[in-house]
């Protein structure tokens, strides 16, 4: 299973001094049960804010490319929250659910203007004697009107692809094309919400591989520049079907997908984080199950795509990999009451920040 993690782009700063504290510490933002967003000081681990959400449990966090606004969504009341990225002030928040309508979606992406929010969702309507579950649909949420203004049902072909309404969504830089990442990349015209192309990532330009896939538990993407998405994929050769993992790159402008094999598959691969200078990448691999489960950090040189270092760390049953704004620290968090810090250079444990609340798997933002 491959887990793709949230995107991030931050300025490079010097490596931390003793103790692993970032030289230019920022602020972490993450969701907590049952209905709050926490901001945490990177340098000290102190809780700076506990931001109450009217819509309940946060399940996704996304910052706009210009770093000006934060968009969050919740699962309790299917709400959308828009915040100012600097002041953390809530600009607007609203629930989509009504007594007779229920929506289920897992994040989305705002358009360049911030007026519209694009996602995929399921709608359930209350009838006289039952609830009727609709089909998976592309949807446009109007932030000003605080409601879903347009939907288009997926065709049976697209609906059958793995990922469902939880599939990650991205927009092209010009805001005219939506990409939905399932077994295939659905290319959707935002004006009509019609699929205009389907890119089969199982057949990359590189020869010798088949069944290239995102895997399960997809959460987001790393972005190396404004146009290119990077993530970890699994694949197999077409002869003996030996499974491997590798790095996949998707260009939002040219719609080109490429895949580079990096090594044999383990029991699980979770997360991809790339340093702000783009030179080094990190992931977490899992070997074995339950009682004999082992977790390791793997460190890569992104230029050669070679494994340069690895180190075992204490496993959790569920977790997410994160990185500090300057790339000096790695974070293990999610489905727990704390954040564990590891030195990104040595891969050694350094300290634990106590949150005093159960963190969700909504992702983590590193704010300046």
Spatial contact of 165 and 104, defined as CB atoms under 8 Å apart: yes
The Cα–Cα gap between 328 and 346 comes to: 10
Q: Which helix (H) or strand (E) holds 95?
A: strand 90-95
pLDDT band of 11, cuts 50, 70, 90: very low
Query: Closest by alpha carbon to 244, among 263, 226, 272?
Result: 263
**Span 309-323, mean pLDDT?**
91
pLDDT tier at 167, thresholds 50, 70, 90: confident
Q: How far apart are CA 172 and CA 190, in angstroms?
A: 10
Look at residue 297 and tell me whether its pLDDT is greater than 50: yes
Fold of 2-363: Methylamine Dehydrogenase; Chain H (2.130.10)
Q: Given this model, what pLDDT does residue 215 score? A: 38
Helix (H) or strand (E) holding 157: helix 156-159
Q: How far, in whole angstroms, is CA 163 from its chain's centroid? A: 13
294 vs 195: which has the higher pLDDT: 195
24-28, 98-102, 156-160, 208-212: range with lowest mean pLDDT: 208-212
pLDDT of residue 2: 33
Round the average pLDDT of the chain to a whole number and report it: 84
Beta carbons of 244 and 264 less than 8 angstroms apart: yes
Structure tokens at 170: 């991205």
Q: Is the pLDDT of residue 110 over 70?
A: yes
Asked whether 121 and 104 are in contact (CB, 8 A), the reply is yes
| DSSP SS3 for 134 | coil
Q: Reduced to 3 states, what is the DSSP secondary structure of residue 158?
A: helix
Q: Mind listing the pLDDT tens digit for each residue in 256-284?
A: 888 788 877 777 777 788 998 889 999 88
Contact indicator for 37, 73 with CB cutoff of 8 Å: no
**Is the model's pLDDT at 334 over the cut of 50?**
yes
pLDDT digits (tens, 9 = 90+) for 213-247: 443 333 345 556 667 888 777 776 667 767 777 88
């Amino acid at each position: 299973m491959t887990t793709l993690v949230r995107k991030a782009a931050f300025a490079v700063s010097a490596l931390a001094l003793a103790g692993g504290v970032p030289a230019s510490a920022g602020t972490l933002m993450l969701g907590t049960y049952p209905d709050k967003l926490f901001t945490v000081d990177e340098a000290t681990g102190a809780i700076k804010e506990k931001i109450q959400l009217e819509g309940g449990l946060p399940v996704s966090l996304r910052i706009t490319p210009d770093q000006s606004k934060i968009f969050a969504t919740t699962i309790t009341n299917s709400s959308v929250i828009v915040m100012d990225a600097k002041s953390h002030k809530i600009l607007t928040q609203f629930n989509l659910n009504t007594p007779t309508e229920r929506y289920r979606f897992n994040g989305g992406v705002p358009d360049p203007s911030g007026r519209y929010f694009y996602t995929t969702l399921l709608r359930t309507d209350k009838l006289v004697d039952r609830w009727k579950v609709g089909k998976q649909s592309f949807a446009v949420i109007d932030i000003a009107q605080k409601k879903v203004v347009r939907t288009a049902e997926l065709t049976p072909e697209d609906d059958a692809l793995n990922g469902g309404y939880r599939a990650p969504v991205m927009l092209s830089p010009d805001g005219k094309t939506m990409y939905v990442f399932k077994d295939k990349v659905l290319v959707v015209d935002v004006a009509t919400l019609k699929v205009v192309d389907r890119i089969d990532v199982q057949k990359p330009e590189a020869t010798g591989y088949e069944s290239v896939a995102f895997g399960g538990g997809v959460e987001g993407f790393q972005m190396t520049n404004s146009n290119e998405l990077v993530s970890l994929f699994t694949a197999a050769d077409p002869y003996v079907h030996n499974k491997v993992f590798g790095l996949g790159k998707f260009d939002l402008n040219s719609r080109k997908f490429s895949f580079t094999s990096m090594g044999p598959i383990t029991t699980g691969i979770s997360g991809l984080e790339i340093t702000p200078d783009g030179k080094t990448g990190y992931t977490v691999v899992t070997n074995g199950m339950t009682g004999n489960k082992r977790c390791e950090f793997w460190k890569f040189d992104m230029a050669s795509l070679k494994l340069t270092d690895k180190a075992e760390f204490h496993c959790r049953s569920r977790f997410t990999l994160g990185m500090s704004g300057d790339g000096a620290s790695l974070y293990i968090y999610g489905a727990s009451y704390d954040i564990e810090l590891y030195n990104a250079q040595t891969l050694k444990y350094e300290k634990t920040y106590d949150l005093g609340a159960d963190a969700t798997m909504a992702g983590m933002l590193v704010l300046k």
